Structure 1
Amino acid sequence: MELIIIRHGESEADLLGVHEGRADFPLTEHGREQAEKMAAYIAAKWKPDIILASTLKRAWETAQFLQKETGCELIAEPNLMEYNNGVLAGLPREVAATRYPLPPGGRPSYIPIEGGESELEFRFRVEYVLQKIHYEQPADGRIAIVSHGGTISKLINAFLGLPVTNETIFPTVDTGFHVLEIKKDRKMIRILNSQIHLAN
């Protein structure tokens, strides 16, 4: 099984300097151009059998470009949404830092942010998605996942079996993609955070 994990294109929140998370901003025109180029590249090099996508606008719109290019089925998967950042969603970063400062030493992984979810709950969500894919999709299939930076980092952590709480982060640029493979019970990382489709 191959997993093609893709981050959405540039969103309006990127230009506003606000916490995004569950704030539901659409793509910018530039983000749509990024998504169009990503879709053409993935369709040519890594055409999926099925696409699973977050239901937040920026990811869903990105996934629709890929669906249009490939013609394969697009399925909404709410568990692929970004970290539920509760009260921070949509707030300017400087306002959030003043109004909702982190506790000394940081927030414990089991304590949710106000109105949102904890790091442990977030990790459980992505573990659920990976298990669902494992049991519901063909072992020789290629699945595209269109999601968000934080969720993608958690997905790769879970794929590799890293501890629930750790300092390992896997960044993803706008429309960047990762290619992971499970073959005969061996897990392989073929590509991390590629943006080759935007090279020109």
Structure 2
Amino acid sequence: MQILLIRHGQSEADILNVHEGRADYPLTGLGREQAILMAKRVTEDYRPDVIYASTLCRASETASILSKASGAPLNFEDKLREHDNGVLAGVPFEEEKKYFIPKTMYERFEKGESAIEFRMRVESIFSKILTECCEQRIAIVAHGGVIHCLLRSFFKMGVHIEFSFPTGDTGIHLLEIKGAKRIIHFLNDTSHTAAIPSTVK
């Protein structure tokens, strides 16, 4: 089976310079244009059989654009939401010092979740999706933090191993499970956004 991991397009939070996480900001005009170009690329080269997406609007809108372009059915999953950063959601970056920021994976954001709870949540939904979609090409449209956890899960990394997997707006990762092998075709491809005029970017 092949697995496409896709991050949502630019959201309003990126313009406002606020912590996103569970804050539910929509896509910007640029974000929608990024999503349209991503959907064209994926549909032409890696058309999915089924799409799973976070229910937060920046991801759900990106996934809906892909579903419309590709014709693939779309399933929304709450467990694909971004890390629950509790009271920090929507807070401007310059005001974050007023709030508790967890320093270990076991500490929770106030009214949120810890890093290890986040990882386990993502592990559980990833296992469910892989079980449901054996031998299909699936697309998972989510958030940077979720994709980071999904990649660590795919590589069977322990929770204490610190590797970073950044993903740009509408960045695409293509993975494959073939028997006992786990194959990386590419990571964080954003070449489709090169078609956006530099004046828009």
SS where residue 182 of structure 1 aligns? strand
C-alpha separation in 1, matches of 2:126 and 2:140: 11
Cα distance per residue 1:136-194 (max 9 Å; x no partner): 112x2100000000110011011101111222110000000100110012101111000
Q: Does 1:116 align with 2:118?
A: no
Q: Does 1:152 align with 2:166?
A: no
C-alpha separation in 1, matches of 2:51 and 2:100: 37
SS where residue 199 of structure 1 aligns? helix
C-alpha separation in 2, matches of 1:169 and 1:79: 21
C-alpha separation in 2, matches of 1:130 and 1:31: 25
- 1:101 Cα deviation after fit: 4.6
- 1:115 Cα deviation after fit: 0.6
Which of 138, 161, 181 is the matching residue for 1:186?
181
RMSD value, Cα: 1.0
Give the TM-score of the pair, scaled to structure 1.
0.95
SS where residue 162 of structure 1 aligns? coil
C-alpha separation in 1, matches of 2:30 and 2:193: 12
C-alpha separation in 2, matches of 1:169 and 1:38: 23
Alignment of 1:78-97 (within 5 A): 78-96=78-96
User: Where does the alignment leave 5 or more consecutive residues of structure 2 unmatched?
Assistant: 196-201
Tell me what 1:100 maps to.
Answer: 99
Alignment of 1:29-178 (within 5 A): 29-96=29-96, 98-102=97-101, 107-138=103-134, 140-178=135-173
C-alpha separation in 2, matches of 1:134 and 1:68: 23
- 1:68 Cα deviation after fit: 0.5
C-alpha separation in 2, matches of 1:125 and 1:191: 25
Task: Give, as a single letter, the amino acid of the residue that structure 2 aligns with 1:189.
Answer: I
Give the TM-score of the pair, scaled to structure 2.
0.94
C-alpha separation in 1, matches of 2:125 and 2:2: 15
Equivalent pair of 2:100/2:109 in contact (CA under 8 Å): no
SS where residue 140 of structure 2 aligns? strand
Deviates more, 1:182-191 or 1:41-50: 182-191
